[in-house]
A and B are shown apart, each in its own frame.
Chain A
């Protein structure tokens, strides 16, 4: 039995999603969330949705991360959960 590549990528997506919510530092959470977006973009490229993968790589992994990091620098890094 061969392991399908999108199952492997989607497992990494779930792991990084849990990580983004578990990290006790908002800057770290932003960066792990950027990794989540990029892995999701790889999953869509493997499922044949190349245009969605394009947009997600530019908008999700790029602009969202810049927004999150900018918001964290304007507020605080500390979090209780």
Chain B
């Protein structure tokens, strides 16, 4: 018990990642408004980026920029253990750009749906579609 509690408390990044991910999933499934669903999708995406950045973090590590003076400091030995891992950062840079692209497409589709049906509520749209099919 004595060493289990710090083990859980030290990994608070991952607990918050799980909380944010479930928040986004709930919004995508449970919310009725289309814009709220899109905001939930974006929260889901940022939670995954938080997970990858947490993987890369090292306690006591410095930024992934080579330290040294202006004259050939780069020739000094580079200890990878001193630096935060930059590979997940590069991957997540791409994910941020993809997330803003999906946000733009989703909002454009929501605007088209609003022009067609006059509402953003999912149950109203389903009702109108059912009425049209029943005629």
Complex: A76 Cα to B35 Cα, angstroms: 10
Q: Main SS of the interface on chain B?
A: helix
Count residues on chain B whose CB falls below 8 Å from chain A CBs. 46
**Quick check: A81 and B36 within 8 Å, CB to CB?**
yes
A23-58, CB under 8 A of B: which get 1 and which 0?
Answer: 000100110010011001001100111111001100
Q: Which of A55-77 contact B (CB under 8 A)?
A: 55-56, 59-60, 63-64, 67-68, 70-72, 74-76
B93 at the interface (CB under 8 A from A): yes
Q: Knowing A21-B40, A47-B54, A49-B56 touch, does A71 contact B35 (C-beta < 8 A)?
A: yes
**Complexed CA–CA distance, A56 and B93 (Å):** 9
Given the known inter-chain contacts A48-B84, A79-B35, A80-B32, please indicate yes or no for A21 contacting B93, CB distance below 8 A: no
Across the interface, A49 reaches (CB within 8 A) one of B36, B42, B62, B84, namely: B84
Q: Nearest Cβ distance between residue A3 and chain B, in whole angstroms?
A: 11
Inter-subunit contact B63/A79 (CB<8 Å): no
**Number of A-B residue pairs at CB separation under 8 A:** 125
CB-defined contacts of B42 to chain A, threshold 8 Å? 33, 64
Nearest Cβ on chain B to A43's Cβ, whole angstroms: 7
With known contacts A51-B89, A59-B96, A59-B100, A20–B39 Cβ distance under 8 A = yes
**Closest residue on chain A to residue B100 by CB atoms:** A59
CB B13 to nearest CB in A, in angstroms, measures 7
B125 at interface by CB-CB < 8 Å: no
A60 touches B96 (CB 8 A): yes
- With a cutoff of 8 Å between Cβ atoms, the chain A residues found around residue B50 in the complex are 10, 40, 43-44
